Amino acid sequence: MPNIASAEKRVRVIERKTLRNKFLKSALKTAWKEATDSVNSFDSNSGGRSKLFDCVKKAVKKMDQCVSKGVIHKNTANRKKSRLMQKYNFAIED
């Protein structure tokens, strides 16, 4: 345990930031999984393009939020968004 007041404060701050990062990463993973599942199971005959678009939009928004908070690197988010959009475009193309 730290003996200096500023070091004790840093420990408290790090705990708060760790909880925030954990919450954001979990929300990001959930949104990402929902988006990829909906893209993979999309059937152009049954419709549902707006639902598919909403899932993808939500996942992209979550990635951008995580980047702005410093939870994930911006290149990682850009790579994942690019791959998701490729799958999305391929799914709605049929």
Is pLDDT at 69 greater than 90 in this prediction?
A: yes
Copy the structure tokens of residue 52: 């598919």
The tens digit of pLDDT for each residue in 2-54 reads 889 999 999 999 999 999 999 999 999 999 999 999 998 887 776 778 889 99
DSSP codes, 23-61: HHHHHHHHHHHHHHHHHHT--TTT--HHHHHHHHHHHHH
Model pTM score: 0.82
Structure confidence at residue 88 as a pLDDT band (50, 70, 90) = very high
Spatial contact of 57 and 37, defined as CB atoms under 8 Å apart: no
Helices and strands (H, E) in the chain, number of each type: 3, 0
Q: 50 versus 71: which is more confidently predicted?
A: 71
Where in the sequence is the domain holding 85, given as residue range(s)?
A: 5-93
Residue 73 belongs to domain with CATH number: 1.20.58.110
Instruction: Find the mean pLDDT for residues 81-94.
Output: 91
Q: Look at the chain and report how many structural domains it folds into.
A: 1
